[in-house]
Structure 1
Amino acid sequence: MKIDHSLTASIDEIDLNPASFLARNAHFTPNKLALIYEDQELTYAEFTRNVKAIASRLRASGVKDGDRIFYLGMNSAAFLETMFATWWLGAVFTPLNFRLAPAEISELLVRGTPHSIIVESSHAEVLSHVYGAQRHHIFLIDNDPAVEAAAGAPPYWHRASEVFGDVSEDLPAPKQVGMRDLALLLFTSGTTGVPKGVQLTFGNIWWNSVNVDTSVDTRVGDMNLAVAPMFHIGALNSFTIRAFERGNTTVVRRAFDPVRTLKDIEDFAINSAFVVPAQLLVMSNQAEFEGADLTSMRATICAGAPVPPVIIAKYAEKGVDVQQAWGLTETSPFATYLPAAMTKEKTGSCGISMLHTEVKLVDPVMLEDVTTPGETGEMWVRGPNVTPGYWNAPEANEAAFHEGWFRSGDIGYADEDGYLFIVDRLKDMIITGGENVYPAEVERVLIEYPGCSDVAVVGQKDPKWGENVVAVMAMEGGAKPTIEQVREFCDRHLARYKLPKKLVLVDAVPRNSSGKLDKRSIRDMVASGATEIQG
């Protein structure tokens, strides 16, 4: 029998706008606590009113659906209010890495062509040195008590305290959006160091939430904690967006403080949080850790790097199952998840594919499926949570997608039970403190160092940060710069987390017969300690 689908709405007609969910919560549960930010508490009615005020001003400035709104600042109420205001209008939210240097931000402005930029007072000085920023509408967040007021902001910048106050009487309801409408544009550097804009649709966001809700023990009424930077999709879309959709409460901190985080978990009986291994390690090393009650943490997802078994054991003793996951910005973020019940049995595994996502291993050269347990292959992902592609980057799209599958660039294997383990990163990416550093981007800066004849950048394992950034340099005329001098030079061009922590000086940087850097030999040289390492 043929079904007549014309009688009901198609899947593309279903409204997936998180701002619509927010408005619903403000209507039916106006007095429910939505956000705790530093010393401020906002109900759903109060939070939504702020969102509507920002949306009113952006709309008056000419923002329409599809326009990009850039945000430069740390975790805050304004960050989240701007995001929902952007979506209220059907526009695209782009949170920038607040550690970027002015030159890096300038490049993103060229690539992303935002209509408006919203900047915190804490980052006003950085934005004032960004070439091309003056071509955009700029709104300065000057009404956050947790941020010191900016001095000497340009007069053409609009101040939030003056323009984000009133809600327009003619502000329409949140724009209806569907599966294919663009929600987020998140910039991440590629292996060449050229920024790539990862497009995530409202459908991508939605399906990641469905995956999480069907695999992780999340509940209506949960208390969510956001202490990792929300410009990363992990901190933003693991739990936080969904918390506002479900009418839950989120505790937001501007930056991670291990002692305060332990106290927050106790004081607010936190149930869900996205963290990176470095955060868990630092927390476990605090004197307060031993006496802290962490038993409310039933949904603790850790990603960004493999979690050392010793950390898993420490938290297990406290009644917390650290649940590992794997994914990328391109997968919104989760592709795999290790169930809490398997944390001890499958220590070190990133789990199995999410319910509505497929993951397979493929020989990266032959492009043939790898099915033998223990045999390594590149991890490919397919599903409704996977990005539709990169922003205005056809060559990057051609390299990253093959017959509907996204090529992650990560190498892994499956055990006899089908549980996946990450082995290495095909693209040589370094993960330090949960932040991604691409060697080519750092190498591009270092080769400009006076007297540098050749350079390579690799990662070196570090118990605290996961990996350190190590620069291997060959110098002309026997010059011997110090690690401090190298860092000072790079500081003008790169975010601080990308700066080399260690320096190795060599007569010649190893290259293979085709002239390419021999990264394996370079890593082995650094790991063996055969050469003197500064730092």
Structure 2
Amino acid sequence: MVLEETCLVTAPHHGHADGYRPPAVTGLHDLIDAQAGRRPRARALLVGADRAPVSYGTLAALAGELALQLRAEGLRPGRPVGLVSGNNLEFVVALLGAARAGLVVAPLDPTLPEPERQACYTALGVQAVLTGPPAAIQRPASPEVPAATLGGPAYWPLTVARGNDGQYAVTLAAGAAPLPGGAAHGAATELTGEDALALFTAGTTGRAKTVPLTHTNVAASVRSIAACYRLTPEDATVAAMPFFHGHGLLAGLLTTLASGGCVLLPERGRFTAHTFWDDMRAASATWYTAVPTIHDILLQRAPQEYCGSRVLPLRFARSCSAPLAPATARALEHLLDAPVLSAYGMTESTHQAASEPLSAPPGRTPGSVGRPAPVRVRVLDAAQRPCAPGTEGEIWVQGPTVARGYLTDPEATAAAFHDGWFRTGDLGRLDPEGRLLLTGRLKNLINRGGEKISPELVEEVLTAFPGVTEAAVFAVPDPLYGQCVGAAVVLGRGSTSTDYDLLAHCRSRLAPYEVPDRLAIVLSLPHTAKGTLNRRAVADLYGSR
């Protein structure tokens, strides 16, 4: 049992730009140790309907308790364990507790169909799957059923509850399901004691891959993100992004905890638009990070729900995982009275590889994601020769956060990883000052009779039209040109624009071959679990119409 103490909250101030020191962590296993030792009563999390504070001392004790239970159940260090839960206290305790036990944690989306989740975990060779709320996730009827009869690993429900006496307790229902014994199997054979996480790529343009990230990768990423935004114990945020992807896990959760700040976990364990600003106010949040889709939703609802910059004086907002439309960035900065900083990252670089700085001036260049850190970046042409500043090419990254490859996929590893460099598949250019500008993605390019068209460029033009809230551009098969340009557009409430209006707007700003040959106004577009546009699903839905 862990006694919850009254959490201390300090008044916000940020006069630390010159003498800032990133958190001294070496991996996921010691992420909160310094905070728990120096500031055990400070709030680490706000949880539940009543937004109850959980201190660093309590969180460390809960993680330690779970680590003992996991070891007692026979889980072997250096082997993977699954984690399926919403953004809640159970997820955080499971993550930190498993890391303390020396396990490699593999989070997955709770909404994935059960066969898909079982297939991922069976291929990885996990020893068991820790599960937390929401209760709606599909799991075997009983943890007593042997995993082998279900075609996958055993599910172990985990609960963290606070009693009337103020004490927290963690309970693991491990049951009697046998674990895979003997030598490691599946992708687990390629893991070592240096590994902290096994993350699954989004897989929206192809088969998802499994990326092993070491404790060194995690520590370098956390230190770099914290330094970029000067995060300290005086900062707080709300978890808008899911923890089973790098964006929410590394930037939203782990960097905040390592820096000694506070993370509010929404009551439902996921982003909810109608409670977001109330949550931000309850946390006294100084920043948040999200995908462009969430920024758009918040903008649309702001007239009714935003509490105002005097009530919530944010230092900045962050956007990552997809390009942020310049019009959205400008509107959001006007609303928040704070800078909106675009960042660039991917699973293979342990999330962030570049970001605009806090000092970024207004009127920034569209597509800019600032200077790379902690990685080095080079932009290469099709012959893998360096491009001159301002010339578009493929972005490659190298540095302490770059993974070593993909598990059990030597062909994909050989294609993407070269002498410590990772081929991102993204298109961009470096300006003379060393800032990185994103222009598209190689796999997304549309080839219209030999003319290469960037869907992202056409989407940027479409979303700049008044009343357009979202746009998706995709290739449509064409007997004459091979491919032509298709577009699906979502209009905001009250907009009366037509497809003729939108096409006229495009003709005035794009080359003739870039103007959509087919344009549909739709009610909504499909997104991935982390909120980014699902291009494969968009093409399936609208590409044959």
Please report the TM-score for the alignment, with normalisation by the length of structure 2: 0.70
Is residue 248 of structure 2 the alignment partner of residue 231 of structure 1? no
Please report the TM-score for the alignment, with normalisation by the length of structure 1: 0.71
* Aligned counterpart in structure 2 of residue 205 of structure 1, from 215, 218, 224: 218
Q: Secondary structure at the match of 1:18?
A: coil
Amino acid at match of 1:427: K
* Post-superposition offset of 1:425: 1.1
Does the aligned pair in 2 maintain the 1:411–1:426 contact within 8 Å?
yes
The 5 A counterparts of 1:518-533 are 518=482, 527-529=516-518
* Post-superposition offset of 1:420: 2.2
Is residue 199 of structure 2 the alignment partner of residue 186 of structure 1? yes
* Post-superposition offset of 1:404: 2.4
Is residue 39 of structure 2 the alignment partner of residue 29 of structure 1? yes
* Post-superposition offset of 1:343: 4.8
The 5 A counterparts of 1:453-532 are 461=459, 468=472, 509-510=477-478, 518=482, 527-529=516-518
Does the aligned pair in 2 maintain the 1:139–1:160 contact within 8 Å?
no
Mapped partners of 1:466, 1:424: distance in 2 = 17
* Post-superposition offset of 1:109: 1.7
What corresponds to 2:68 in structure 1? 56
Mapped partners of 1:289, 1:429: distance in 2 = 38
The 5 A counterparts of 1:36-435 are 36-38=46-48, 39=50, 40-122=52-134, 125-128=137-140, 135-141=152-158, 161=171, 163=173, 181-188=194-201, 193-253=206-266, 254-286=269-301, 287-289=303-305, 291-293=307-309, 296-317=313-334, 318-363=336-381, 365-373=382-390, 375-428=391-444
Q: Secondary structure at the match of 1:209?
A: helix
* Post-superposition offset of 1:325: 0.6
Mapped partners of 1:299, 1:422: distance in 2 = 21
Q: Secondary structure at the match of 1:93?
A: strand
What corresponds to 1:484 in structure 2? none
Does the aligned pair in 1 maintain the 2:44–2:55 contact within 8 Å?
yes
Judged with a 3 Å threshold, the aligned counterparts in structure 2 of structure 1 residues 63 and 193 are, in CA distance, closer, same or farther, namely same
Amino acid at match of 2:104: V
* Post-superposition offset of 1:99: 2.9
* Post-superposition offset of 1:351: 2.7
Cα deviation digits, residues 122-162 of structure 1 (max 9, x gap)? 356523399975652321235669xxxxxxxxxxxxx9746
Cα deviation digits, residues 267-319 of structure 1 (max 9, x gap)? 32212322111111111111235542275322422111111122222232231
Mapped partners of 1:57, 1:311: distance in 2 = 48
Mapped partners of 1:182, 1:357: distance in 2 = 19
Q: Secondary structure at the match of 1:356?
A: coil
* Post-superposition offset of 1:107: 2.1
Mapped partners of 2:255, 2:214: distance in 1 = 15
Mapped partners of 1:116, 1:411: distance in 2 = 39
Q: Secondary structure at the match of 2:209?
A: strand
Judged with a 3 Å threshold, the aligned counterparts in structure 2 of structure 1 residues 529 and 346 are, in CA distance, closer, same or farther, namely same
Mapped partners of 2:399, 2:98: distance in 1 = 26
Mapped partners of 1:35, 1:531: distance in 2 = 44
Judged with a 3 Å threshold, the aligned counterparts in structure 2 of structure 1 residues 125 and 83 are, in CA distance, closer, same or farther, namely closer
Is residue 29 of structure 2 the alignment partner of residue 19 of structure 1? yes
Judged with a 3 Å threshold, the aligned counterparts in structure 2 of structure 1 residues 112 and 70 are, in CA distance, closer, same or farther, namely same
Mapped partners of 1:512, 1:144: distance in 2 = 64
* Post-superposition offset of 1:189: 5.1
Judged with a 3 Å threshold, the aligned counterparts in structure 2 of structure 1 residues 120 and 520 are, in CA distance, closer, same or farther, namely farther
Mapped partners of 1:239, 1:311: distance in 2 = 21
Judged with a 3 Å threshold, the aligned counterparts in structure 2 of structure 1 residues 192 and 338 are, in CA distance, closer, same or farther, namely closer
Judged with a 3 Å threshold, the aligned counterparts in structure 2 of structure 1 residues 403 and 269 are, in CA distance, closer, same or farther, namely same
Judged with a 3 Å threshold, the aligned counterparts in structure 2 of structure 1 residues 100 and 125 are, in CA distance, closer, same or farther, namely closer
Cα deviation digits, residues 209-268 of structure 1 (max 9, x gap)? 222233223223311321211111011111421222233221112121223222222332
Does the aligned pair in 2 maintain the 1:237–1:332 contact within 8 Å?
yes
* Post-superposition offset of 1:42: 1.3
Mapped partners of 2:319, 2:442: distance in 1 = 21
* Post-superposition offset of 1:326: 0.7
Amino acid at match of 1:273: Y
Amino acid at match of 1:227: A
Q: Secondary structure at the match of 1:98?
A: coil
Does the aligned pair in 1 maintain the 2:158–2:172 contact within 8 Å?
no
Mapped partners of 2:469, 2:252: distance in 1 = 24
Amino acid at match of 1:196: K
Judged with a 3 Å threshold, the aligned counterparts in structure 2 of structure 1 residues 391 and 334 are, in CA distance, closer, same or farther, namely same
Does the aligned pair in 2 maintain the 1:330–1:387 contact within 8 Å?
yes
Judged with a 3 Å threshold, the aligned counterparts in structure 2 of structure 1 residues 189 and 42 are, in CA distance, closer, same or farther, namely closer
What corresponds to 2:5 in structure 1? none
Mapped partners of 1:510, 1:306: distance in 2 = 28
* Post-superposition offset of 1:512: 9.6
Amino acid at match of 2:314: M
Judged with a 3 Å threshold, the aligned counterparts in structure 2 of structure 1 residues 383 and 530 are, in CA distance, closer, same or farther, namely closer
Q: Secondary structure at the match of 1:36?
A: strand
Computed over aligned residues only, the root mean square deviation of the Cα atoms, in angstroms, reads: 3.5
* Post-superposition offset of 1:77: 0.6
Does the aligned pair in 2 maintain the 1:68–1:112 contact within 8 Å?
yes
Amino acid at match of 2:63: V
* Post-superposition offset of 1:45: 2.5
Identity among equivalent positions (%) equals 22
Q: Secondary structure at the match of 2:102?
A: coil
Judged with a 3 Å threshold, the aligned counterparts in structure 2 of structure 1 residues 290 and 273 are, in CA distance, closer, same or farther, namely closer
Does the aligned pair in 2 maintain the 1:376–1:412 contact within 8 Å?
yes
Mapped partners of 2:254, 2:520: distance in 1 = 48
Does the aligned pair in 1 maintain the 2:239–2:270 contact within 8 Å?
no
Gaps in structure 1 of 5+ consecutive residues? 1-13, 146-158, 165-178, 431-457, 473-508
Q: Secondary structure at the match of 1:82?
A: helix
Amino acid at match of 2:308: A
